[in-house]
Amino acid sequence: MLDFNKLEYTVFSQHFEGTSAVLLHLVAAVVFALLFDLISRLVRRWLKKIHTLKEAESPFRGVLILLHGFEMPLPRLISCTGVYLALCTLPWAGFAAKMPEYLTMVYRILLVTLAAIGLWRSSELCDLLLDSAQNQMELGTNKTLSMFLSKVYKAFVAAFAALIIINELGFDVTSLITGVGLVGLTISLAAQDTAANLVSGLVILLEGPFQVGDWVKIDAVEGSVEDITFRSTKIRALDNSLYVLPNSSVSSAVLNNGTKRTKRMFSFTLGVPYTTDRARIERLIADLQTLLTGDERVFEDSVIVRLTGFDNSSINIMLRCYIKTPEYAEFLQIQGDLNLQIMDLMRQNGVDFAVPVTNVYLKETK
C-alpha cells in the first residue's frame, strides 16, 4: 500500500512531501499528457500541409512517401508517448509496483505497431525502387511488378513487426523461427508445384511479357489479364468468365500479347467471276491500290494488291495492308469503312463479286 506521507517530490531544488508531492505528481502527469497532445496536433497539421505536395515534382520523393505513410501513426505515437510518460510519472507501489514495467512493455508494442502501420502505408516506396531501376531493367512502368513488390514489402513489414511483438511478450523468437523454418521446409517439399508456380510468377514479373490489363492469348485461353499472384495468373475472357492459370503453365506456353501490337493488318481475298475480262481486272487492281494508298489511316508502304490465283468459281485478288491503330474497336470501324468503299469501287468498275456455282448435268435416259 502506498503511504502518501512518505511520498517525496523535488522540483528545482524544492523538496515536497505528503499531499503536496501527490499533487505535484498529478500535475506533472497532466502536463506531460497535454504537452505531447499539443505537439501531436501540431505535427498532424504539418503533415496535412505536406500531403498537398506532389511527390513526383519533389527531389525528396522517398521522404514525402514516408511522411504521407506516417500521417496517421506519427501523431498517435506522440500522443501515446505523452500518456506513457504521464503514467510513469505517477507513484506506483504495493500491488501496482510492477505497473511501470507493464506500461513500458505496452508502450513498446504500440511503438512497433504504429511504426509498422506507417511503413505499411508507405508501400509506394516500391514504385520509387522501380523508378530507380528503370534505366537498367526498364521496370519503371511495370504496374504488375509494382503490385507484386508491394505485396512482398507489406508481408515483410507485417512479419517483422509480429516477431518483435512476440519477443516483447516474452516468447523465444529464435525457437519460433526455427520451428517455422522446419515447417516451411516440409511444406515446400510436399508442395513442389506451388514452388514451381512461385518461381514462374517471379520470372513472368521480371521478364514482363504481359501486365495487368493486357489482352493476351495463352494456348486456347484468350482475354484480359486481371491479376498476377504468387501462384497463378487470372484472365478475364470475352464472355466475362474468369480463367485461373498456374504460372508454371503460363511461363511454358506460347503467348500472344495483343496489347503489344502497334498496328493491325487488314487482309482478305476478293473473288471476281471468270466472266470478268482482263482489262476490268487490271483496272480494278489499280483502283484498289490507289484507294488504299490514298487513305491516311493506312500505312502506304504496306499496301499489297495482287492477283494471286484461280479458285473453282472465282479469280482471286489479295488485298493486304496495315491500319494505323492498335485498338480493336477503331480497327473494326476503319475496316468496315474500307469494305464499303471497295464495294462502291467494284460497282463503278462494273465488276461483281464471285459466288460459288454448282453445275448439275442430267443424263438423258431412254
Spell out the residues 6+ positions from residue 266 whose beta carbon is closer than 8 angstroms to its own.
298, 319, 320, 321, 322, 323, 331, 334, 335, 338
Taking the C-alpha atoms of residue 145 and residue 126, their distance in angstroms, rounded to an integer, is: 9
- For residues 192-200, give the mean pLDDT: 68
Closest to 282 measured CA to CA, from 312, 304, 298, 305? 305
Taking the C-alpha atoms of residue 290 and residue 283, their distance in angstroms, rounded to an integer, is: 11
Residue 207, CA distances (Å) to 138, 142, 313, 327 in order: 10, 10, 50, 24
pLDDT of residue 127: 73
pLDDT higher than 80, residue 4: no
Q: What dihedral do alpha carbons 120, 149, 163, 102 form, nearest 10°? A: -10
Closest to 223 measured CA to CA, from 249, 200, 243? 243
- For residues 64-72, give the mean pLDDT: 80
pLDDT of residue 324: 92
Kindly indicate the confidence band of residue 119, based on its pLDDT and cuts at 50, 70 and 90: confident
- Burial class from Cβ neighbours inside 10 Å (0-12, 13-18, 19+) for residue 250 reads buried
For a pLDDT cut of 90, what percent of the chain falls above it? 22
The answer to whether 118 touches 69, Cβ cutoff 8 Å, is: yes
Domain with CATH 2.30.30.60 in the chain: 193-258
- For residues 178-206, give the mean pLDDT: 62
pLDDT of residue 253: 86
Cell of 308: 494471286
Cell of 177: 523461427
Give the residue with greater pLDDT, 60 vs 321: 321
pLDDT higher than 50, residue 366: yes
The whole-chain average pLDDT of the chain stands at 78
pLDDT of residue 318: 94
pLDDT of residue 2: 45
Domain with CATH 3.30.70.100 in the chain: 264-348
Q: What is the largest CA-CA distance in the chain?
A: 144
| Domain covering 193-258, topology | SH3 type barrels. (2.30.30)
The pTM (predicted TM-score) of the whole model is: 0.49
pLDDT of residue 273: 92
| Domain covering 264-348, topology | Alpha-Beta Plaits (3.30.70)
Hey, CA dihedral for 86, 90, 95, 99, is it positive or negative? positive
Cell of 366: 431412254
The answer to whether 214 touches 259, Cβ cutoff 8 Å, is: yes
Taking the C-alpha atoms of residue 220 and residue 237, their distance in angstroms, rounded to an integer, is: 11
Q: How many CB atoms lie within 10 A of CB 258?
A: 15
pLDDT higher than 90, residue 304: yes
pLDDT digits (tens, 9 = 90+) for 342-361: 999 999 999 999 888 777 77
Helix spans in the chain (H): 19-51, 61-69, 73-89, 99-120, 125-132, 134-137, 143-168, 173-190, 192-207, 247-252, 278-293, 328-348
Taking the C-alpha atoms of residue 47 and residue 24, their distance in angstroms, rounded to an integer, is: 34
pLDDT digits (tens, 9 = 90+) for 134-156: 544 444 445 666 777 777 788 88
